[in-house]
Structure 1
Amino acid sequence: MSFIDDDLPKKAAYEIGSDLSMLSVDELKERVEQLKAEIARIEAEVTRKASGRAAAENLFRS
């Protein structure tokens, strides 16, 4: 693996909707933490994009 690959997003080790019955409680808790972190990352991007859009709309309204 080259150092360039380090910049690529990591693919989830699971698929949403997959069978959870074979996972331990600790594995399920870890998955919850990973998903919470992903939700926070997505929400931050939504906020960033929304503020950029609002700034552009204000620029063109003036």
Structure 2
Amino acid sequence: MDLDDILGPRPDDPLTALIAQDLDRLSVAELEARVKALEAEIARTRRKIDGAVTHRASADALFRR
């Protein structure tokens, strides 16, 4: 069992704070900048996933899993 299952999500989790942020107070320009930043973070996260999958495949091939 994971600690998150027992304790729940961390209250200081940045993703939780991001999702909870009130967007009503932001201008169109600020919202567009936010979308651009989030798209860049999505791309960075996908690159990390691709790297992890490649690393795992290399390890599996090496050890003939």
TM-score category by the smaller chain? 0.7 to 0.9
Q: CA RMSD in A?
A: 1.9
**Larger % of helix: which?**
2
- Per-residue CA deviations over 1:4-45 (Å, capped at 9, x if unaligned) read xxxxxxx8xx72231100000000000000000000000000
- Structure 2 stretches of 5 or more lacking a match? 1-13
The answer to whether 1:34 aligns with 2:54 is no
The one-letter amino acid of 2:19's match is I
Structure 1 ranges of 4+ moved more than 4 A: none
- Percent identity reads 44
Higher RCO (C-alpha under 8 Å, 6+ residues apart): 1
TM-score by length of 1: 0.72
For structure 1, list consecutive stretches of 5 or more residues without a partner in the other structure.
1-10
